[in-house]
DNA sequence: TAGGCCATCTGGTCCT
DNA sequence: AGGACCAGATGGCCTA
């Protein structure tokens, strides 16, 4: 293992350099980050680190908006910057991986839920909080339809006309929901 | 440029 | 003990 793995710029907050020597001609503004400074009890090795990240990235299908938009060398670079920025214990790293996967499963559940709430055809992707609020209002409205035995289509039309009063305390309580429902094909 | 939304990391707590 | 869950902090991206 080399003496140090990263160089950090002292004049630019977010810049690191991989390797055993500072970038040419810029030595005055670069400081070495030693492996020991990242992992105090240095005999820790992560032979499967790259593999684990690859597995996670492969299974994760991350949102494209969260990906680093850059070429391969920059992505590799960002990976090392990511590693450099955090002092690791294997347990902490494993916990982070589990947490990321857990959040991904929650997000996929949100995607499923988004597919079940009424939206305008041209509407952009609902946020998580709006998805929850709309789902709550939608369930309440469907419940009203069931308990009153109303015809769904005419019930929605009535709500569009008179306002939906069955559900209190909801941000999506009236026209927001019923306007979306007006796009639903009931037949 | 501020605010909203989001992903990620992290430490604490609870559960098995 | 280890994993699941949670909430706070942080930083990036996007939009009005």
Q: How many other C-beta atoms can be found within 10 angstroms of the C-beta atom of residue A143? A: 12
Work out the average pLDDT over A84-95.
69
Which pair of structure tokens corresponds to residue A116? 């079940």
- pTM, whole model, 2 decimals? 0.58
pLDDT digits (tens, 9 = 90+) for A104-162: 888 888 988 988 888 877 778 888 888 888 888 888 888 989 999 988 888 888 877 77
pLDDT of residue A120: 77
CA to C1' distance (Å), from A21 to C12: 30
Work out the average pLDDT over A32-47.
35
- Listed by range, residues with Cβ under 7 angstroms from strand C are A 14, 65, 68-69, 91, 94-95, 98-99, 102
Share of chain A above pLDDT 90, in %: 2
Nearest DNA or RNA nucleotide to A91 (CA to C1'): C2
Strand B positions within 7 A of protein Cβ atoms:
4-12
Chain A 63-82 residues whose Cβ is under 7 Å from strand B: 63, 65-66, 82
Share of chain A above pLDDT 70, in %: 43
Whether residue A117 contacts residue A134, with contact meaning beta carbons closer than 8 Å, is answered with: yes
CA to C1' distance (Å), from A41 to B2: 43
CA to C1' distance (Å), from A118 to C8: 33
Question: Is residue A11 pLDDT above 60, yes or no?
Answer: no
Strand C positions within 7 A of protein Cβ atoms:
2-7, 12-14
Nearest DNA or RNA nucleotide to A106 (CA to C1'): C5
Phi, psi of A18 (to 5 degrees): -85, 135
Q: Per 3-state DSSP, what percentage of chain A is helix, strand, and coil (rounded to 5)? A: 55, 5, 40
Q: Nearest CA to the C1' of B7 belongs to which residue?
A: A66
């Amino acid at each position: 293992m080399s003496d140090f793995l990263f160089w950090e710029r002292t004049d630019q907050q977010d810049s690191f350099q991989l390797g055993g020597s500072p970038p040419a001609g810029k030595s005055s503004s670069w400081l070495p980050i030693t492996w020991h400074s990242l992992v105090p009890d240095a005999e820790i090795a992560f032979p499967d680190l790259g593999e684990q990240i690859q597995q996670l990235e492969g299974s994760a299908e991350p949102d494209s908006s969260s990906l680093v938009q850059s070429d391969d060398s920059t992505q590799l670079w960002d990976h090392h910057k990511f590693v450099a920025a955090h002092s690791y214990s294997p347990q902490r790293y494993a916990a982070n991986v589990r947490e990321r996967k857990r959040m991904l499963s929650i997000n996929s559940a949100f995607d499923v839920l988004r597919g079940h709430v009424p939206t305008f055809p041209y509407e952009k992707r609902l946020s998580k909080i709006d998805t929850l609020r709309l789902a709550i209002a939608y369930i309440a409205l469907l419940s009203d339809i069931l308990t009153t035995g109303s015809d769904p289509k005419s019930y929605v039309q009535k709500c569009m006309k008179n306002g939906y009063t069955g559900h209190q305390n909801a941000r999506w309580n009236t026209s927001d929901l019923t306007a979306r429902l007006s796009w639903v094909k009931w037949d």
